[in-house]
Amino acid sequence: MDTMKQNCYYEAKSRFTCNTQRALHVIGEKWMLYILREFLYTDTKQSFNKLMKELKPISSRTLSLKLKKLQERGLIKRKVIDAQPVKIEYEITEQGRGLKKALTDFGKWFVKHHS
C-alpha cells in the first residue's frame, strides 16, 4: 500500500471508532461520490474531459484534485497513453468496484423512504 493511501486509512482508523465514519472520511468529500458514480454505472474508462462534461458544474481544478485523491486512495487508476496528443484515461479499480453494491443499496434506501 502506498504512503498516501496508508496515511488516509490510518487517519480514518485513528480518528473514528465507527466504520461508517471511517468510510465517509475516505469517500465522503464533496464530489467524490459523483465521480465514483461515473465509473461504477458506466463501467468504462473515463477521460478528464468526459468527466468534466458529465459533472457540470465542477471546476477543472476540483476535478483534478479529487481524481488525484481517489487515485491515492486506490479507488481509481490513471493511465497515460502514449499518442499524439498524449491521452490520459481513468479507470475504477477492484477496490473501487467494491463500492457499487453499497451505493446501489443506498439509492434503494432513498427510493423506499423518500419517493
22-75 confidence digits (pLDDT tens): 888 889 999 999 999 999 998 789 999 999 999 999 999 999 999 999 999 999
Domain-by-domain residue ranges, the chain? 30-102
Considering only the top CATH level, what class is 30-102?
A: mainly alpha
pTM of the model: 0.85
Let me know: does 76 contact 64? Beta carbons within 8 Å.
Answer: no
Average pLDDT, the chain: 91
Partners of 61 in beta bridges = none
Distance between CA atoms of 78 and 71, rounded to whole angstroms? 7
